[in-house]
């Protein structure tokens, strides 16, 4: 029997490195349990988690990314109150900060399906369906992971970035949806290493000062649960 329950943790406003370390702890716990199950012929259920969090200003660079896509010096980073980390997810550089709904699914995909491509498409679909509820028509951009508006036009802009790590079918890292973000912080990078593409935020697209972030998270959870046939606990 596969465990399709997902432990939900809303961690509030937390330092990036603190939550990266926490992700690693949960991730390694699942991997270690899977190894023990196989080595000892056990069938102990592996847990799944979804962490919601909001970070102080931080830039993160994926393992295949180019450091030149960060356009700030160390001194400039400090002056903006931002930090920088090279991390072990896929993808290039991105920004996290206040007003962004960040989700880290730490799942044993053997509880759901063993297909990383499908996993990424399901994460994108959960965001696309969430934004549809706000009247936005979003889509994927071929060869560019994440969720976009006006793909194929000169006005294409990214609203949600994604980058994951997976080992032994266990995932970590995830998605970052711009909800009430100060978009000026994206001017300091070449987002995801893609030149000439704009970035946007839900409040900007709706023409409002602030969108209810808790409501956004609830909508994401609803669509995530339906797509993954999961139950949150």
Question: Catalytic residues, which ones?
Answer: 192
CB count within 10 Å of CB 222 equals 15
Is 93 among the annotated ligand-binding positions?
A: yes
Is 176 among the annotated ligand-binding positions?
A: yes
Is 106 among the annotated ligand-binding positions?
A: no
Query: What's the order of all strands across the beta sheet hosting 58-61?
Result: 83-86, 58-61, 93-96
CA-CA distance, 31 to 138, in Å (whole number)? 34
Angle at 162 between CA 158 and CA 163, to 5 degrees: 145
Pair of tokens at residue 93: 């550089």
Is 175 among the annotated ligand-binding positions?
A: yes
Q: What is the 3-state secondary structure (H, E, C) of 98-161?
A: CCEEEEEEECEHHHCCCCHHHHHHHHHHHHHHHHHCCCCCEEEECCEEEEEECCCCCCCEEEEE
**CA atoms 196, 86, 180, 72: torsion sign:** negative
Is 163 among the annotated ligand-binding positions?
A: yes
Pair of tokens at residue 102: 């960040």
CA-CA distance, 224 to 230, in Å (whole number)? 8
Is 230 among the annotated ligand-binding positions?
A: no
Based on the number of CB atoms within 10 Å of its own CB, is 135 exposed (0-12), middle (13-18) or buried (19 or more)? exposed
Is 228 among the annotated ligand-binding positions?
A: no
Is 174 among the annotated ligand-binding positions?
A: yes
Is 108 among the annotated ligand-binding positions?
A: no
- Binding site, by residue number, is 89-96, 161-163, 174-176
- Binding site for substrate, by residue number, is 89-96, 161-163, 174-176
């Amino acid at each position: 029997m596969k465990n399709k329950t997902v432990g939900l943790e809303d961690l509030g406003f937390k330092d990036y490195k603190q939550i990266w370390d926490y992700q690693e702890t949960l991730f390694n716990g699942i991997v270690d349990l899977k190894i023990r199950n196989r080595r000892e012929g056990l069938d102990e259920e592996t847990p799944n988690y979804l962490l919601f969090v909001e970070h102080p200003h931080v830039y993160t660079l994926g393992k295949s990314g180019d450091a030149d896509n960060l356009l700030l010096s160390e001194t400039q980073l400090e002056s903006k109150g931002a930090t920088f980390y090279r991390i072990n997810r896929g993808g290039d550089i991105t920004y996290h900060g206040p007003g962004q709904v960040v989700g880290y699914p730490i799942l044993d995909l053997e509880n759901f399906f063993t297909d990383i491509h499908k996993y990424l498409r399901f994460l994108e679909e959960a965001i696309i369906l969430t934004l549809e509820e706000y009247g936005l028509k979003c889509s994927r951009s071929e060869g560019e992971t994440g969720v976009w508006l006006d793909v194929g036009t000169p006005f294409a802009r990214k609203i949600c970035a994604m980058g994951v790590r997976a080992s032994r079918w266990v995932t970590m890292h995830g998605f970052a949806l711009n909800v009430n973000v100060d978009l000026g912080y994206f001017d300091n990078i070449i987002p995801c290493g893609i030149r000439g593409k704009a970035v946007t935020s839900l409040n900007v697209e709706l023409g409002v000062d602030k969108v209810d972030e808790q409501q956004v998270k609830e909508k994401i959870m609803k669509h995530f649960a339906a797509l993954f046939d999961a139950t949150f606990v």
